[in-house]
Structure 1
Amino acid sequence: MGKAKLDDYIEQGIYGAKQIKPDERRKFLGTIRERVVITLTTSQVMEAEPYPEVLNAMKENKKAQLLLNGNLDYSYHSKYIKRVTELSMEYTMVNNKDYHSELGLVLAYDYAIDQEEIYVAKKDAPSSNQEKNMAENEENEGKGLFSAITKIFKKD
């Protein structure tokens, strides 16, 4: 055995087998981005109602595996675990004491699918139309006749 192979063998014995994209694997609960169908953050998983986008993705991707962040309490995962068992799918609770991922749920295959959009928007986040309407209201505030009259009689 050559010196380089011997060093690799010793390192593998000490640190374990080398992984491809270890940072990405930690973030996506043990898998890599190109295999992911859909994800939820930990705060989204902790919400009372399950996300319909995830439930639909689970129904459409029954061969995928659901990865759940084991750092969260089981009560938050139960609504998704119930659905997984109804669909006879596999799920895994992923515990990594060295790294706390911001993702609470990942639905992924064991091969690449290159899904373009994997992140689900938060339920209470305003849509772009709502943001646009709020911005227009703020711009128009103070431009009407009533606003002008109010400014005249307003005490400074």
Structure 2
Amino acid sequence: MKKPTVDEVLQQGIYGPLETKPDERRKYLGTIRERIIVALYKRQVAETEVYPQIKQSMNKYPGAQLLLNGNMNYEALSKYIKLATKNKVVHKIVTNKEHDTEIGLVLAMSHAIDKEEIFISKTQPLPEKSQYKKGFFSKIFKR
């Protein structure tokens, strides 16, 4: 390892330690893309219903951390805070006064998982009765 120069030490003393991918960290509420399990935009977090994929992901990845955008209204975030508390998932409200991102919620791990698709497009409706497979007797006894 090379020895840091005096200029590098002074720069880190003034501005803090060097950070990997600072633009990506500002966008994804303090984490990087390769660690994200699921992310929601602000408009999705503001919806009245909780996305079931978030709950499923919390159950599937118990060591995950929930990051919430602190620039949003607390009422919109509270349902996800309650869900995280119920599922014993660590949550943190992240507020960045210098940069506002369109991301409202991120569920991430402390290590890379490299998930290809992190954004949820819409809530998935539950299957209706007509979508269930029909059994043998439903063919015999048609109504």
Give yes or no for TM over 0.5.
yes
C-alpha separation between the residues in 1 aligned to 2:100 and 2:58?
24
Q: How far off is 1:73 after superposition? A: 1.2
Distance (Å, rounded) in 1 between the aligned partners of 2:47 and 2:77: 10
2:52 alignment partner in structure 1: 52
Whether 1:5 aligns to 2:1 is no
| 1:80 and 2:83 aligned | no
> Deviation at 1:122?
3.7
Give the C-alpha shift of residue 55 in structure 1: 1.5
User: For 1:49, what is the secondary structure of its paired residue?
Assistant: coil
- Report the structure, 1 or 2, having the larger helix content: 1
Deviations 1:14-61 (A, max 9, x none): 111110000000011000000000000001000011111112111211
Structure 2 unaligned spans of 5+? 124-143
Equivalent residues in 2 for 1:27-38, closer than 5 Å: 27-38=27-38
Q: Does 1:105 align with 2:105?
A: yes
Give structure 1 regions of 4+ aligned residues with deviation exceeding 3 angstroms: none
Q: CA deviation at 1:85?
A: 0.5
1:116 aligned partner: 116
2:15 corresponds to: 15
- The share of aligned pairs that are identical, in percent, is 49
Question: CA–CA distance in 2 between the matches of 1:112 and 1:23?
Answer: 18
State which structure, 1 or 2, has the greater radius of gyration over its C-alpha atoms.
Answer: 1
SS in 1 for 2:5: helix
- Distance in structure 1 (CA, Å) of the matches to 2:14 and 2:5: 14
Output the CA distance in 2 between the equivalents of 1:65 and 1:9.
Answer: 32
Root-mean-square deviation (CA, aligned residues, Å) is 1.4
Amino acid at match of 2:115: Q
